[in-house]
């Protein structure tokens, strides 16, 4: 009997070793690797890159990268097929803690997108939805709609984004003692040019930039004053053994590209961040400020846009002036003149110290989006800052969206008119290789450009509101004025503007800058009609 039982017992023991006891938990699934998900949005297709590491005990780490920045994963756990983690989302310098949930489904991760999408601070216009006046012209594309993202193992597009950052372990950069840097004497009128971000986001390359330079010349935009060809985020590769940042393969020779742009009578701009990562998750300039400035000078760069993205994870707003001064000093040390554009969303009272760090322009708002509420909200923020603008130092409500399709032609004329009145930089953000007739007429309206480029350098402001009508006034050289009558409402409005109400002299000569028509001498004011979301832009001249 004992002999007969031996094989049976052996089989039972072998089977028991294959079955985990109930008190031993099953190992968590391994999700280590790079996972990529994409969603359509009002900003175009957004790619989310999840660089994950996990272990058998269910710990989950790594980072999440998207158009909204790079965020380390915090408190990540895997429980069965469920995953949950937190991130600190950086939205224009505002850090928001978000909890993200998802599920492992075979070779896919099903991730709830709500926590990955931006929630704007009060007063900020994220794409989509009507403004305060309700739906109507320019209501824009639909807003971000939360749902489920399907992430699969793969390679990001582009694949040159830098990896996750251990912000706690970064060596601390020493900030300079505050001082006033001398003016670089550039940008005596608001800079004009083109920037890649609004149209191309991070999908930009050498061929596109060369094509844009050609188009600026062929279209007449260069001769109208659009001189700067600015490469925004997405050009960066990796640093070599000496810490020198190399462009990614989409830009095989930055010096040759700069030479090409210069040969067209244009200037080349570049983009970086004082943090370790840019908004799109590429290599920033943190700890490499002097090296990067020298690199750009060697290439022949003429303009730097320096974006606060990820810097808010390392510094407070009260450090911001010193942070931007550090790069301002680095630029000056190269001996090359570069327009210095501070992109920090109007935080920390930048208009008071922007010129002191060598800045020529500084963002005063959150990003612009291609819709009426965003555009009007950004320009309205300029009103209180008019006194801080002057030749060489400009308030920047962000780049132009004209031609990108989110607003009507009427609204784009209003957009261009208000940027001209506000003495804002005129940086086109569309594909100028494919200008339609309306976009061409707007961007090439030399009479409106002349208002923007007026040598007096006085920024206009809103001086009166009457119902849905806003009246903006700007003092120009030669005893002249620019007057914009803007209709915020959804129906055409008849107006009768009185000079006396605006403390303007009587008997002003008027010219309509969109109709290109002299209106003669107007004794007491301007009577007329303004279309919904439209503008009447007048140049007024006193004297004979």
Domain boundaries, given as residue ranges, for the chain? 33-125+145-153, 190-452, 461-541
**Residue 361 and residue 394: Cα distance in Å, rounded?**
5
Instruction: Kindly tell me if the per-residue pLDDT of 123 is higher than 70.
Output: no
Instruction: Kindly tell me if the per-residue pLDDT of 448 is higher than 60.
Output: yes
Residue 490: the pLDDT is: 97
**Residue 378 and residue 370: Cα distance in Å, rounded?**
12
Q: And the tokens for 485?
A: 């009558």
Average pLDDT for 218-236:
98
pTM of the model: 0.90
* Residue of 264, 261, 273, 328 lying closest to 301 (CA atoms): 261
Instruction: Kindly tell me if the per-residue pLDDT of 134 is higher than 90.
Output: no
Catalytic residues: 307, 367
Confidence of residue 21 (pLDDT cuts 50, 70, 90): low
Instruction: Kindly tell me if the per-residue pLDDT of 461 is higher than 90.
Output: yes
Instruction: Kindly tell me if the per-residue pLDDT of 522 is higher than 50.
Output: yes
Instruction: Kindly tell me if the per-residue pLDDT of 326 is higher than 50.
Output: yes
**Residue 297 and residue 175: Cα distance in Å, rounded?**
22
Confidence of residue 28 (pLDDT cuts 50, 70, 90): very high
Residue 389: the pLDDT is: 98
**Residue 447 and residue 337: Cα distance in Å, rounded?**
29
Average pLDDT for 250-270:
98
Q: Which CATH architecture has domain 461-541?
A: Sandwich (2.60)
Over residues 347-366, the pLDDT tens digits come to: 999 999 999 999 999 999 98
Residue 139: the pLDDT is: 45
Residue 11: the pLDDT is: 47
Q: And the tokens for 80?
A: 């069965």
Strand partners, 149: 111
CA atoms within 13 A on the CB side of 533: 25
Residue 46: the pLDDT is: 87
| Range of lowest pLDDT (109-118, 475-484, 504-513) | 109-118
Q: And the tokens for 121?
A: 């601070």
Query: How deeply is 173 buried, as exposed, middle or buried, from its count of CB atoms within 10 A (0-12, 13-18, 19+)?
Result: middle
Q: CATH 3.30.200.20: does it fit domain 190-452?
A: no
- The residues near 100 (Cβ < 8 Å, ≥ 6 apart) are 64, 84, 85, 86, 87, 111, 112, 115, 116
Residue 81 C-alpha from the chain's centroid: 37
CB–CB of 279/314 below 8 Å? no
Residue 132: the pLDDT is: 34
- In percent, how much of the chain has pLDDT > 90? 81
Q: And the tokens for 184?
A: 């670089």
Instruction: Kindly tell me if the per-residue pLDDT of 23 is higher than 70.
Output: no
Sign of the torsion formed by the C-alpha atoms of 177, 187, 217 and 400: positive
Over residues 143-181, the pLDDT tens digits come to: 677 889 999 999 988 788 888 888 989 999 999 999 999
- The residues near 142 (Cβ < 8 Å, ≥ 6 apart) are 42, 128, 129
**Local structure of residue 176 (DSSP, 8 states):** P
**Residue 324 and residue 485: Cα distance in Å, rounded?**
37
pLDDT, the chain, mean: 91
Q: Tell me which of 2.60.120, 3.40.50, 2.40.128, 3.40.1350 is the CATH number of domain 33-125+145-153.
A: 2.40.128
Tell me how far apart the 2 most distant CA atoms of the chain are, in Å.
128
Residue 120: the pLDDT is: 60
**Local structure of residue 281 (DSSP, 8 states):** S
Residue 143: the pLDDT is: 61
Residue 256: the pLDDT is: 98
Residue 129: the pLDDT is: 36
Instruction: Kindly tell me if the per-residue pLDDT of 136 is higher than 60.
Output: no
Over residues 181-201, the pLDDT tens digits come to: 999 999 999 999 999 999 999
């Amino acid at each position: 009997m004992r002999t007969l039982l031996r094989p049976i017992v052996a089989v039972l023991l072998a089977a028991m070793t294959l079955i985990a006891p109930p008190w031993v938990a099953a190992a968590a699934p391994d999700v280590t690797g790079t996972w990529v998900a994409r969603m359509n949005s009002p900003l175009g297709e957004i790619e989310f890159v999840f660089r994950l590491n996990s272990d058998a005990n269910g710990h989950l780490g790594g980072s999440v990268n998207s158009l909204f920045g790079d965020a380390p994963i915090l408190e990540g756990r895997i429980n069965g097929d469920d995953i949950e983690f937190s991130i600190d989302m950086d939205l224009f310098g505002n850090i928001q803690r978000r909890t993200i949930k998802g599920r492992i489904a075979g070779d896919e991760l099903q991730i709830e997108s709500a926590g990955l999408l931006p929630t704007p601070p009060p007063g900020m216009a994220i794409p989509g939805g009507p403004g305060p006046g309700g739906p109507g012209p320019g209501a824009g594309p639909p807003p971000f709609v939360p749902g489920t993202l399907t992430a699969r193992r793969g390679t990001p597009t582009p694949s040159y984004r830098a990896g996750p950052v251990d912000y706690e372990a970064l060596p601390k950069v020493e900030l300079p003692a505050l001082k006033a840097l001398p003016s670089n004497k550039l940008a005596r009128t608001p800079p004009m040019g083109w920037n890649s971000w609004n149209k191309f986001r991070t999908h930009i390359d050498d061929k596109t930039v060369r094509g844009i330079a050609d188009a600026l010349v062929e279209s007449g935009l260069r001769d109208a004053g659009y001189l700067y060809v600015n490469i925004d985020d997405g050009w960066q590769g990796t640093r070599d053994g000496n810490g020198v940042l190399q462009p990614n393969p989409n830009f095989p020779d930055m010096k040759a590209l700069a030479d090409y742009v210069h040969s067209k009578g244009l200037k080349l701009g570049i983009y970086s961040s004082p943090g370790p990562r840019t908004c799109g998750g590429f290599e920033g300039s943190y700890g490499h400020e002097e090296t990067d400035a020298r690199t750009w000078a060697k290439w022949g760069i003429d303009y730097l846009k320096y974006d606060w993205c990820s810097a808010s994870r390392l510094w407070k707003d009260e450090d911001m002036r010193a942070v931007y001064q550090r790069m301002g000093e680095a630029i000056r040390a190269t001996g090359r003149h570069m327009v210095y554009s501070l992109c920090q969303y109007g935080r920390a009272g930048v208009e008071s110290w922007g010129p002191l760090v060598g800045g020529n322009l500084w963002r005063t708002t959150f990003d612009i989006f291609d819709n009426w509420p965003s555009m009007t909200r950004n320009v309205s923020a300029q009103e209180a800052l008019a006194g801080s603008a002057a030749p060489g130092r400009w308030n920047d409500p962000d780049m132009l969206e004209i031609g990108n399709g989110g607003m009507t032609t009427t609204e784009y004329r209003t957009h261009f008119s208000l940027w001209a009145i506000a003495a804002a930089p005129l940086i086109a953000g569309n594909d100028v290789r494919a200008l339609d007739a309306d976009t061409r007429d707007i961007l090439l309206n030399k009479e409106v450009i002349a208002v923007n480029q007026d040598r007096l350098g006085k920024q206009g402001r809103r001086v009166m509101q009457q119902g849905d009508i806003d009246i903006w006034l700007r003092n120009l050289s030669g005893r002249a004025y620019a007057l914009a009558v803007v209709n915020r409402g959804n129906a055409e409005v008849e107006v009768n503007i009185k000079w006396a109400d605006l403390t303007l002299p009587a008997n002003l000569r008027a010219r309509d800058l969109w109709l290109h028509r002299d209106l003669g001498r107007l004794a007491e004011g301007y009577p007329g009609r303004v279309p919904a979301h439209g503008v009447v832009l007048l140049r007024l001249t006193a004297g004979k």
